[in-house]
Amino acid sequence: MWIVRFFQSSIGKKMIMAFTGMLLFLFLCTHVMGNSTIYLGSSHFQHYADTLHSFPVIVYLFSISLLIIVSLHVGFGLNLYFKNREEGDSRYAVTKRVVENSLASRTMIFSGLFILVFLLVHVAGFTFRDEHEPISELVKELLGGFFYGSFYIIAFSVLGLHLSHGFWSMLQTFGVNHPRYNKLISSLSLFFSVFFFLFFAGIPLYFMTGLGSSY
Amino acid sequence: MKIMATIDLTLNIWRQKDNDSLGEFEIYQLNNISTDSSFLEMLDVLNEKLTREGKIPVAFDHDCREGICGMCGAVIDGVAHGPEKATTLCQLHMRNFSTGDTLVIEPFRSRAFPVKRDLMIDRSAFDRIIQSGGYVSTNTGGAIDGNSILIPSDKAELAMDAAACIGCGACVASCPNGAAMLFTGAKISQLCLLPQGAPERHSRALAMIDAMDKEGFGNCSNAKECEAVCPKSISIRNIARLNREYAKAAFLSETKK
């Protein structure tokens, strides 16, 4: 079957990584918009959360879809990593990388797995929580803590690193590579990395530094 | 920096009898190497010395020695074709090195490129990729009029850029994953960009990627190392084109398979 053949091929697997990566990126966009209400104050954030959860079907469908998308992204990522590791850097006595700033591309699997651990902690803390405490209070309580907050900040810097290669890599895999747009694409990769870091890591910083005391 | 007329080098060269034997590094001291000589000429001098001493010379591939055939190539201090950009090993000159340097010289390595002897590798995996579809089927007949097939100059230029690939294998050798995407991308691009190659683009993309995967090459992770070491400066734009060609062929091809 053509579709099986496509997904078994090297390019097909890459396309799954790129496509699921794109969906996760779009999810981040919606997530960051919702979370930015935190900066407006607890009542705004609580209102947003209540409104969102007044559509349980939508929340349920999104959760299931995200689970599938994340599983595919992680599963195929690991599959490709282990396949590629058969080659490995150790095949030469001396290995020198010619491309500069390839830290992000070399560490995609590790940054990715770290984000997976973060996701588990995040979902355990905020999705499967005690339903009685309002989310607007829980977020301040958890993220205001030093260790919890620091872990979040580290996780978002890792996310930024992952995206700085991932965003460009996604477009390259889709075949988007044109001299007219390449500069824009590399600028956007950097922009989104920094943007998501600032908005997401800003939340624990907001509570930890006491800026959010009037929240 | 003043370039000296001659330099003295210590060479750490991979010696391996054949694909079934275990290899190891051997150290050679080579003095008074002209900085005007090419890397391969330096190896010639070493081999003459080894022959005079009754030892077995270092086997390495070479043919045109003017950077257009794709036969030569080795990894010098961790970089395929050595430190100079956009240069094959035969066109790399010894003026790039300084006296007293120790050079580690290894064959191009990949699962799909077994070592035949010393620095010689078997690149027939590339040939099998080409055989699977990297050609244009032509029914010969009377010669057609010149310029009867119109090709815009920008397309011709892009196709020529891709056709500059000499198939040396440096892309595979330096890819952290041992992927052959740059090679296959260039070979697919040079044909699909031109009207003569366009009719078979779907079957070609499917067959060549299939052959590439079967040979045991790795998967591209967009590390861009291939482009950086390519002696012909083949752009990874060709990999993007390969991805597009393959996706179009997989989803839109009219053949049943």
CATH of the domain at A204: 1.20.1300.10
Interface check for B184 against chain A (CB to CB < 8 A): the answer is: no
CB contact under 8 A, A5 and B242: no
Is A120 part of a structural domain of the chain?
yes
Residue A91 lies in a domain: no
Considering chain A, what percentage of its residues have pLDDT values greater than 70? 99
Q: Report the residue count for chain A.
A: 215
Pairwise CA distance, residues B66 & B73, whole Å:
13
Please tell me chain B's helix, strand, coil percentages from 3-state DSSP, rounded to the nearest 5.
35, 15, 45
Spatial distance between the Cα atoms of A127 and A150, rounded to a whole number of angstroms: 20
Res. B257 pLDDT band, cuts 50 70 90: low
- Nearest-CA residue of chain B relative to A89? B176
Instruction: Provide the shortest C-alpha distance from residue A118 to chain B (in Å).
Output: 23
CA distance B30 to B49: 9
Angle between helix axes A179-208 and A10-35 (nearest 10 degrees) is 40
Residues B176, A84: C-beta atoms closer than 8 Å: yes
B127 and B240 share a domain? yes
- Selected residue of B121, B221, B233, B238 to mutate for chain A interface (largest A Cβ count, 10 A): B221
Question: B70-74 long-range contacts, Cβ below 8 Å, gap at least 24?
Answer: B70/B166, B70/B167, B70/B168, B70/B169, B71/B168, B72/B40, B72/B168, B73/B108, B73/B168, B73/B169, B73/B170, B73/B173, B74/B105, B74/B106, B74/B107, B74/B108, B74/B119
Same-domain check for residues B98 and B183? no
Q: For residue A123, tell me if it sits in a domain.
A: yes
Residues of B with Cβ-Cβ distance to A179 under 8 angstroms: 237
Q: Find residue B11's DSSP bridge partners.
A: B28, B103
**Yes or no, beta carbons of B106 and A98 under 8 Å apart:** no
How far apart CA A50 and CA A37 sit, in angstroms, is 13
Chain A nearest-CA residue for B240: A175
Chain CA centroid to CA B184, Å: 11
Question: What residues have CB less than 8 Å from B234, skipping those under 6 apart?
Answer: B161, B162, B164, B165, B171, B182, B185, B186, B226, B227
The pLDDT, as a whole number, for residue A101 is 66
Q: Is A93–B228 a contact, with Cβ atoms under 8 angstroms apart? A: no
Q: Which of A3, A86, A174 is the closest to B243 by Cβ?
A: A174
Asked whether the beta carbons of residue A14 and residue B220 sit closer than 8 angstroms, the reply is yes
Give the contacts of A22 (CB within 8 A, at least 6 positions apart). A170
Say yes or no to pLDDT of A107 above 90.
yes
Which residues from chain B sit within 8 angstroms of residue A14, using beta carbons? Answer: 219-220, 243
Residue B252: the pLDDT is 93
pLDDT surpassing 90 at residue B90: yes
Query: For A10, which of B176, B213, B236 is closest by C-beta distance?
Result: B213
> Quick check: is A63 in a domain?
yes
pLDDT attached to residue B141? 85
Distance from CA of B150 to the nearest CA of A (A): 24
Residues B65, B166: contact at Cβ < 8 Å?
A: no
CA distance A21 to B36: 51
Contact B219 A10 (CB under 8 A): yes
pLDDT at B256 over 80: no
B247 CB within 8 Å of a chain A CB: yes
Contact indicator for A189, A163 with CB cutoff of 8 Å = yes
In a domain, A126, yes or no: yes
| Residue B140 pLDDT | 82
Q: Which of A90, A115, A91, A96 is nearest to A165 (CA)?
A: A115
Q: CATH number of the domain that B160 lies in? A: 1.10.1060.10
Q: Which residue of B has its CA nearest to A175?
A: B240
For residue B217, which residues of chain A lie inside 8 Å, CB to CB? Answer: 10
Residues B101 and B10 in one domain: yes
Question: A180 CB near a chain B CB, below 8 Å?
Answer: no
- Which of A5, A91, A176 is the closest to B109 by Cβ? A91
- Report the complex ipTM: 0.94
Q: Are residues B173 and B101 part of one domain?
A: no
B173 shares a domain with B93: no
Mean pLDDT computed over B234-246: 97
How big is chain A by its Cα radius of gyration, in Å? 19
The phi and psi torsions of B18 (rounded to 5 degrees) equal -160, -175
Contact B108, B61 (CB under 8 A): no
Do residues B80 and B130 both lie within one domain?
Answer: no
Res. B3: pLDDT tops 80: no
Q: By the CB < 8 Å criterion, does B101 face chain A?
A: no
Residue B242 above 90 pLDDT? yes
Answer whether residue B15 shows pLDDT above 90.
yes
Terminus-to-terminus CA distance in chain B, angstroms? 61
pLDDT of B40: 98
Do B128 and B102 sit in the same domain of this protein? no
In the predicted structure, residue A27 carries a pLDDT above the cut 70: yes
Mean pLDDT of chain B: 95
Span B112-133, average pLDDT = 97
Q: Confirm whether A94 is domain-assigned.
A: no
Decide if B221 and A108 are in contact by the 8 Å CB cutoff: yes
Is residue A27 in a domain? yes
B37 and B156 in a single domain? The answer is no
Which of A6, A8, A11, A83 to mutate to test binding with chain B, by most B CBs within 10 Å of its CB?
A11
Is B195 inside any structural domain? yes
The pLDDT of residue B5 is above 80: yes
Residue B225 lies in a domain: yes
**Contact at CB, A89 and B253, closer than 8 angstroms:** no
Classify the phi-psi angles of B67: left when phi > 0, otherwise alpha if psi is within -120 to 50, otherwise beta: left
Residue B132: is its pLDDT beyond 90?
Answer: yes
Q: What are phi and psi of B34, to 5 degrees?
A: -65, 135
What gap in Å lies between CA B126 and CA B117, rounded to an integer? 19
Tell whether A92 is covered by a domain: no
Reported pTM: 0.95
Q: Is the pLDDT of residue A89 over 70?
A: no
- In sequence order, the 6+-apart residues with CB closer than 8 A to the CB of A35 are A45, A199, A200, A203
- Tell whether B16 and B95 lie within a shared domain: yes
A/B interface, count of CB pairs below 8 Å: 125
Q: What distance in Å separates residue A19's CA from the closest CA in chain B?
A: 12
So what's the pLDDT on residue A214? 80
Expressed as residue numbers, the domain containing B210 is 123-136+151-252
Q: Tell me what pLDDT residue B1 has.
A: 60
d(CA B176, CA B210): 21
Could you give the CA distance from residue B228 to residue A88 in angstroms, rounded to a whole number? 19
Range of the domain at A197: 2-85+101-214
Domains: count for chain A = 1
B132 and B100 in a common domain:
no
b/e map B14-47, b = 16+ CB within 10 Å: bbbeeeeeebeeeebebeebbbebbbbbbbbbbb
> Does B187 map to a domain?
yes
Residues B243 and B160 in one domain: yes
**Given CB atoms, is A93 within the 8 Å cutoff of chain B?**
yes
Number of domains in chain B: 2
Calculate the dihedral angle through the C-alpha atoms of A177, A15, A91, B236, rounding to the nearest 10 degrees: -10
C-alpha closest to that of B154 among B199, B193, B185, B186 = B193
Whether residues B127 and B26 fall in one domain: no
Q: Is B115 a domain residue?
A: no
Asked if B25 reaches chain A (Cβ–Cβ under 8 Å), the answer is yes
Contact B247 A178 (CB under 8 A): no
pLDDT of A56-83, one tens digit each? Answer: 999 999 999 999 999 999 999 999 999 9
Q: Does B246 touch chain A (CB under 8 A)?
A: yes
Q: C-alpha distances in angstroms, A68 versus A29, A117, B60? A: 18, 17, 51
Q: How far is A179 from chain B (nearest CA, A)?
A: 9
Q: Given B174, B209, B221, which is nearest A11 (Cβ)? A: B209
**Each residue's pLDDT tens digit, A149-198:** 999 999 999 999 999 999 999 999 999 999 999 999 999 999 999 999 99
CA torsion sign, B62 to B67 to B69 to B73?
A: positive
